[in-house]
């Protein structure tokens, strides 16, 4: 295979990162086509990624093309299952954005199609490729904070109305819950850092600020209250943040018990003034905590009668080029390594399924007054990475 030829389904905001795969001069891949149901997105995609890309309103046309080796899925969450299963059945390698799907059953359908296809599959967990979380993972794996017993995550989603309440994200029919749509990254990072999956959860949450009784078709641009509304936006996303159909919580707190008895908490709020993720990981010999604003990880050690207690340390996170703190160009290369070199991806497909399973369990608990909900266990066949060495 000369270069991996890539087609993209869903040409909205996220699809811009596929430019890292478009390497016509000397690289290992090229983006040749895109599909979207919205005609306005087709030219925009060409402008952002490849002016010569073939574009279509019919994604099946793209899937039928024999000259396309791999498909990238950047459609809304509730569409992932359809596009991923059909792409795998069409014999394509697949990169699917997070969350894998919006129900555990749909995740399992994707994993089943992946196993039967013999093709390569990757989930878009780009946080695993950020230097911040790579550093935290390396510290945990080095044993310097001892055996991990607790993880606390505070997620301040201060631009909540910009991304989540002016568009399809605010309705549970499209996302199930923002504990999948937004937190799927963080639940995954908790699993990644500890090396363990969640067994059971309890959660509380509510729609405490967004949502309301405004008509579903109201937009900021035509709203009579735009001069006084704190959530007035000029675009690109302009659906009213206080409309009736909004039914996903904006203030959620999840407690999790992981394999091995590790305890974790994840707190998400969409009306904070700031945007950041704060992780604390506590082991038997110390703890680490990150600061996204300072781009640092602080390590504190406790009296342990080992050499480690002698030093507390501060890690300065190196700046990396590219979107999402440099993670996007690296995850794109990892996708190519997976296909061309049969390299194990940093996140396996089961990781995608497990973060959805925890998000669904937490949403169920939250909507049942905090009842303890057990996470749906994976089947043994779901483990592992690529099913077999591909002939490329
Ligand atoms: N990993 C990350 O950092 C990251 C960041 C942002 C978004 N995402 C994920 O990317 C996905 C897309 O998010 P977005 O912000 O780009 O949304 P978006 O609404 O901007 O784009 C989605 C696009 O899909 C198109 N679409 C909808 N149904 C379709 C269909 N049946 N066939 C073809 N096209 C269809 C829409 O017209 C739209 O252009 C989501 O799953 C989201 O969770 C991931």
Q: Indicate which atom in ligand 1 lies nearest the CA of residue 14.
A: 16
Nearest CA to ligand 1 atom 38: 12
Residue nearest to atom 10 of ligand 1 (CA): 74
Which residue, judged by its Cα, is nearest atom 39 of ligand 1? 12
Measured distance CA(199)–CA(187) in Å, rounded: 12
For the stretch 77-127, pLDDT in tens is 999 999 999 999 999 999 999 999 999 999 999 999 999 999 999 999 999
pTM, full prediction: 0.96
pLDDT of the residue at 2: 79
Q: Using a 6 Å cutoff on CB, does residue 37 contact ligand 1?
A: yes
Asked if residue 154 has pLDDT above 90, the reply is: yes
CB of residue 124 inside a 6 A radius of ligand 1: yes
Sequence-distant (6+) residues with CB within 8 A of 244 are 211, 212, 213, 214, 215, 216
Instruction: Identify the CATH assignment for 4-124 out of 3.40.50.720, 3.40.470.10, 3.40.50.300, 3.90.420.10.
Output: 3.40.50.720
Q: How distant is the alpha carbon of residue 15 from its chain centre?
A: 14
pLDDT at 390: 36
Q: Hey, which of 9, 11, 14 would you mutate to test ligand 1's pocket, going by the most ligand atoms within 8 Å of its Cβ?
A: 14
Domain span(s) for CATH 3.30.360.10 in the chain: 127-210+246-385
Query: What's the CA gap between 347 and 128, in Å, rounded?
Result: 8
Q: What is the pLDDT of residue 66?
A: 97
Neighbours of 294 (CB within 10 A): 11
- Specify which residues 297 forms β-bridges with: 290, 315
Please state, in angstroms and rounded to a whole number, the distance separating the CA atoms of residues 15 and 31.
Answer: 11
Beta strands per DSSP E along the chain: 4-9, 29-35, 54-56, 70-73, 93-96, 121-123, 148-157, 198-206, 251-258, 263-269, 275-283, 286-291, 296-301, 313-316, 373-374
pLDDT greater at residue 381 or residue 30: 30
Query: Span 194-203, mean pLDDT?
Result: 98
Q: What is the pLDDT of residue 388?
A: 36
Q: What does the alpha-carbon distance between residue 129 and residue 9 come to, in Å, rounded to a whole number? A: 23
Distance (Å) from CA 13 to ligand 1 centroid: 7
What does the alpha-carbon distance between residue 54 and residue 197 come to, in Å, rounded to a whole number? 41
Nearest to 45 by CA among 13, 76, 21: 13
What is the pLDDT at residue 278?
Answer: 98
DSSP count for the chain of H helices, then E strands: 11, 15
pLDDT for 264 beyond 90? yes
Please give the distance, rounded to the nearest whole angstrom, from the Cα atom of residue 150 to the centre of ligand 1. Answer: 34
Nearest atom in ligand 1 to the alpha carbon of residue 38 is 37
Lowest average pLDDT, out of 212-226, 304-318, 324-338, goes to: 304-318
- Average pLDDT over the chain reads 95
pLDDT in the model for residue 309 = 82
Question: Which is the closest atom of ligand 1 to the Cα of 80?
Answer: 41
Query: How much of the chain, in percent, has pLDDT values that exceed 70?
Result: 97
CA angle 37, 42, 46 (to 5 degrees): 155
| pLDDT-based confidence at residue 163 (cuts at 50, 70, 90) | confident
- DSSP reduced 3-state for 237: coil
Residues 277-290 pLDDT 10s: 999 999 999 999 99
DSSP bridge pairs for 296: 291, 316
**May I ask the CATH class of domain 127-210+246-385?**
alpha beta
Query: Does pLDDT of 216 surpass 70?
Result: yes
Every domain of the chain with CATH number 3.40.50.720 lies at: 4-124
Triad 297, 332, 388: Cα angle to 5°: 110
CB atoms closer than 10 angstroms to residue 298:
15
Whole-number pLDDT of residue 384: 64
* Highest averaged pLDDT of the listed ranges 152-156, 163-167, 305-309: 152-156
Higher pLDDT, 295 or 311: 295
Is 11 strand, coil or helix? coil
Q: Is the pLDDT of residue 45 over 60?
A: yes
Closest C-alpha to 168, from 248, 255, 49: 248
């Amino acid at each position: 295979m000369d270069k991996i030829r890539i087609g993209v389904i869903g040409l909205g905001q996220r699809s811009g990162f596929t430019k890292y795969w478009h390497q016509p001069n000397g690289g290992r891949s090229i983006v040749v086509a895109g599909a979207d149901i919205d005609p306005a997105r087709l030219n925009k995609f060409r402008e952002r990624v490849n002016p010569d890309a073939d574009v279509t309103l019919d994604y099946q046309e793209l899937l039928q093309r024999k000259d396309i080796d791999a498909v990238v899925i950047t459609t809304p969450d509730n569409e992932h299952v359809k596009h991923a299963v059909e792409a795998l059945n069409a014999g394509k390698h697949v990169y699917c954005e997070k969350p894998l799907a919006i129900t555990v059953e749909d995740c399992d359908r994707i994993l089943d199609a992946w196993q039967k296809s013999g093709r390569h599959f990757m989930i878009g967990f780009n946080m695993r490729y950020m230097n911040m979380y790579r550093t935290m993972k390396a510290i945990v794996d080095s044993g310097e904070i001892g055996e991990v017993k607790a993880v606390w995550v505070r997620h301040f989603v201060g631009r909540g109305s910009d991304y989540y309440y002016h568009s399809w994200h605010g309705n549970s029919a499209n996302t199930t819950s923002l504990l999948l749509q937004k937190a799927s990254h963080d639940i995954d990072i908790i699993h990644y850092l500890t090396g363990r999956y969640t067994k059971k959860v309890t959660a509380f949450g509510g729609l405490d600020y967004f949502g309301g009784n405004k008509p579903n078709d109201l937009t900021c641009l035509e709203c009579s209250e735009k001069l006084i509304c704190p959530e007035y936006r000029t675009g690109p996303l302009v659906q009213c943040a206080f409309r009736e159909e909004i039914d996903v919580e904006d203030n959620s707190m999840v407690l999790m018990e992981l394999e091995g008895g590790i305890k974790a908490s994840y707190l998400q709020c969409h009306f904070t003034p700031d945007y950041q993720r704060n992780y604390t990981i506590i082991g038997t010999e110390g703890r680490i905590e990150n600061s996204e604003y300072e781009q640092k990880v602080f390590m504190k050690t406790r009296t342990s009668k080992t050499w480690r207690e002698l030093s507390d340390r501060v890690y300065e996170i190196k700046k990396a080029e590219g979107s999402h703190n440099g993670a996007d160009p690296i995850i794109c290369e990892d996708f190519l390594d997976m296909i061309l070199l049969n390299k194990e991806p940093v996140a396996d497909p089961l990781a995608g399924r497990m973060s959805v399973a925890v998000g669904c369990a937490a949403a169920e608990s939250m909507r049942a007054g905090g009842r303890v909900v057990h996470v749906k266990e994976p089947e043994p066949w779901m483990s592992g990475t690529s099913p077999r060495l591909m002939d490329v």
